[in-house]
Amino acid sequence: MAAKSAKPIRRSLLRRAAVFVAKWTFTAAIWGVVAALLLGGWYASDLPDVDSALKATRKPTVTLLADDGTPIARRGDLYGLPVQLADLPQDLPNAVIATEDRRFYNHFGLDIIGLARAVVANIKARRIVQGGSTITQQAAKNLFLTPERSLRRKIQELMLALWLEHKFSKQQILTIYLNRVYLGAGTYGVDAAARKYFGKPATRVSTYEAAMLAGLLKAPSRYNPRSSRKRAHGRTVQVLANMVAAGYLSPNQAKAAKAVRSTSTAVATGSRQARHFVDWVLNQVPSYVAPGDRDLIVVTTLRTKTQRAAEAAILGAVDKADAARATQAALVALAPDGAVRAMVGGRNYGTSQFNRATQARRQPGSAFKPIVYLAGLEAGLKPETMIEDAPLSIGEWRPRNFDGKYRGKVSVSDALVQSLNTAAVRVAERAGLDRIVETARRLGITTALKPAPSLALGAGEVSLLELTSAYGPFANGGNGVWAYGVTEIRDTAGQVIYRRQGSGPGRVVRPGRVTAMNRMLSRVITEGTGRKARFDRPIAGKTGTSQNFRDAWFIGYSAELIAGVWMGNDDGRSMKGVTGGGLPAITWRNFMIAAHKGRSDQPLPTPPPGGPEPEEPGFWDKLYVRITGDGPSGDRK
């Protein structure tokens, strides 16, 4: 009887236990769902705006070309043209799927089988050897998320992958992925990578090239052909094997693809030269065009042969300058119309991006004197006019000559050739300080200059580029020079957005005075302070050394090229006896010889045939007189 009554009791207890377990299981499930929803809501709270993320927002790529069309630099991320899946060779998406996600067309955004296999492989290897991310997950990460590695980001990646699978077809997801994935060397999307590595659009890649692009997805920096052709080939062979295993290629087709390889995996990206020039030009591009999201091609004035000569000359100079305690040097070269042909802003761009050709303001010393003497000619002096070279005082200032000697009466021409300081101050007195400032402005000096007596000896501060430009009218016959580095800007479709027009400010120096200046400055090189710059060609120029050997300059020109060299220290420390007639003149000479190699001699500008400048000026001279107030005799009007 007791045994019979025990059975119902046990059944009752079991039923109660079952009800209890079911009740709490159901309750836990409900709370689990609530917790999952709350957790999902929390993770979703800072998901990015998917609509804006799908738009191709990016910084435009700017490609700089030398004047002959060769690339010298590229800045910004490189995106190719958007491609549709149907337009691509079938081997390209097949290679990607075979390597990255073979069940792409069968899963819902998360590949459970692939994930399980990756977990097992990683446990066996005791390290991460496989990833379980699908193409959809990778697309979600590339489009919407940062590279941060965290559980939060992984859950968000999965949520976005599920959203993509709901929102788009498999073909659309694959298309988005192929157009936006990073493939090394600054390229985003298969079209940009194909153009970068193979010199062709993605629509024309071969089987081998398709496999190479797919192989980049694992490690774009390591496996791209610019980093290592050997590693790139090894990875490509593995992708071809994956395609065979997935049934996309036969073994014979894979073998044939390996035999053909790629015909062009070394498309030029431009050299690492002219980096100061590149920065200088890129800073100007926004003032010419508003690029938006368009890729731009900027045709510059740089001449690669001339730039190489400039860099070689500066490299040779700084090696010698160390013993003279000169740590920096710069060089800029212009065509007579102001086109910048070469620019070196310092001895080592890697250690200092500061551009000493354009950004530094230094005292030019006697390299400023041609402006003073031009102002003197415009005030009525002539090269043969005699002027006193003797001690003088202006208030408490007592200028003296570099060698401490005085020569008495000398011609204006001799005073410039020998760079006599006291004579230059007397020329400045005859010209007037305001006239000198105005002449400097007319020649292109933009730095504020004070009309003080010391201005005659180059006490004002100028940049190497603007002082070199100021010599331009002597080289081109009297026309003002605006230094420029850009001739044309177009987009990648070939549409011209900007093209340089005009020729600068026009005539700023009358022809007769150009000739007089050229004769005097030619003598500086043949018999004066610039003898170390001499070589067998019609040239002219001027040395400059600032107080206490802080700066040393040589600015000179031929009929084809104007060039300036500066040497000194960024902190203004004195050099050990370096003068403009020494190492800068030698550096200038070495550069000019290399830059003129293969060119025929051209004479410096001379007056038009028929003798001296006519009494009655022509129309343009009259217009010049009206604008500047500089009359035929040089008197101010």
Task: Summarize pLDDT for 561-617 with one digit per residue, the tens.
Answer: 999 999 999 999 999 989 999 999 999 999 999 999 999 899 998 756 433 343 333
Domain end call among 203, 232, 260: 260
Q: Read off the pLDDT of residues 142-189 as tens digits, 9 standing for 90 and up.
A: 666 445 555 555 666 677 778 777 788 888 889 988 988 889 887 889
| Residue that finishes a domain, picked among 224, 243, 260 | 260
pLDDT at residue 451 in the model: 94
Beta-sheet pairing, 328-334 with 562-568? antiparallel
Q: Measured between alpha carbons, how far is 45 from 68 in angstroms, rounded to an integer?
A: 54
347 and 495 together in one domain: yes
CATH number at residue 223: 1.10.3810.10
**Whether residue 508 is found in the same domain as residue 624:** yes
pLDDT, residue 59, reads: 63
Residues 6+ apart with CB under 8 A from 116: none
For residue 137, being part of any structural domain is answered with: yes
Of all residues in the chain, the percent with pLDDT exceeding 90 is 56
Percent above pLDDT 70 for the chain: 77
Q: Are residues 621 and 485 part of one domain? A: yes
pLDDT score of 625: 39
How sure is the predictor about 40, in pLDDT bands with cuts at 50, 70 and 90?
very low
Residue 293 confidence (pLDDT):
67
The string of pLDDT tens digits covering residues 382-414 is 999 999 999 999 989 999 998 889 999 999 999
CATH of the domain at 420: 3.40.710.10
Q: In terms of domains, do 127 and 238 share one?
A: yes
Q: Indicate whether 471 and 364 sit together in one domain.
A: yes
**Cα angle, residue 294 at apex, residues 288 and 300 outer, rounded to 5°:** 45
Same domain assignment for residues 320 and 210: no
Provide the pLDDT confidence category of residue 140 given band limits of 50, 70 and 90.
confident
Let me know if residue 219 belongs to a domain: yes
**Token pair for 364:** 């030019």
Whether 28 is in a domain gets the answer no
Show the tokens assigned to 577. Answer: 């006896």
Spell out where 10-145 has E strands.
62-65, 71-75, 78-79
Q: Is residue 281 part of a domain?
A: no
Strands 386-389 and 187-188: unpaired
* Residue 182 φ/ψ, nearest 5 degrees: -80, 130
Same domain, residue pair 506 and 617: yes
Q: Give me the domain span that covers residue 385.
A: 307-628
pLDDT digits over 339-398, tens only? 999 999 999 888 889 999 999 999 999 999 999 999 999 999 999 999 999 999 998 999
Residues 353 and 493 in one domain: yes
In a domain, 606, yes or no: yes
Question: What tens digit of pLDDT does each residue of 428-450 get?
Answer: 999 999 999 999 999 999 999 99
Residue 191 is predicted with a pLDDT of: 92
Residue 419 pLDDT > 90: yes
pLDDT at 534: 97
Q: What are phi and psi of 358, to 5 degrees?
A: -120, -30
Q: At what angle do helices 433-442 and 421-431 cross, to 10 degrees?
A: 90
Q: Are residues 334 and 256 in the same domain?
A: no
Residues 234 and 124 occupy one common structural domain: yes
Whether residue 222 is found in the same domain as residue 330: no
For residues 550 and 623, membership in a common domain is answered with: yes
Residues 326 and 552: their CA atoms lie apart, in Å, by 10
Q: Is 217 part of any domain?
A: yes
What pLDDT is stored for residue 629 in this prediction?
41
Decide if 52 is inside a domain. no
Q: What is the mean pLDDT of residues 21-32?
A: 58
List the one residue out of 217, 243, 248, 227 whose CA is nearest residue 131.
217
Beta carbons of 168 and 176 less than 8 angstroms apart = yes
| pLDDT (0 to 100) of residue 272 | 57
Q: Given the DSSP bridges, would you call strands 71-75 and 62-65 parallel, antiparallel or unpaired?
A: antiparallel
151 CB burial (10 A radius; 0-12, 13-18, 19+): exposed
Q: Of the candidates 229, 260, 291, which is a domain's last residue?
A: 260
| Residue among 74, 314, 285, 280 at smallest CA distance from 195 | 74
The amino acid present at 466, given as its one-letter code, is: E
The pLDDT confidence band at residue 196, using thresholds 50, 70 and 90, is confident
For the segment 180-195, what is each residue's pLDDT rounded down to a tens digit?
888 988 788 999 899 8
Q: Are 417 and 524 in contact (CB under 8 A)?
A: yes
Q: What pLDDT is stored for residue 359 in this prediction? A: 95
Express each pLDDT in 216-253 by its tens digit.
998 898 898 888 889 999 999 999 999 999 999 999 99
SS3 112: helix
User: Where in 502-547 does DSSP place strands (E)?
Assistant: 540-545
Residue 99: how many other CB atoms lie within 10 Å: 21
pLDDT at residue 337 tops 80: yes
* Cross-strand partners of 630: 636
pLDDT at 295: 83
Q: Report residue 11's pLDDT band, with 50, 70 and 90 as the boundaries.
A: low
The verdict on residue 448 lying in a domain is: yes
What's the average model confidence in pLDDT over 482-503? 91
Q: Quick one: which of 291, 297, 244 has its CA closest to 66?
A: 297
Mode of pairing for the β-strands spanning 551-557 and 386-389: unpaired
Confidence of residue 463 (pLDDT cuts 50, 70, 90): very high
Total domains present in the chain: 2
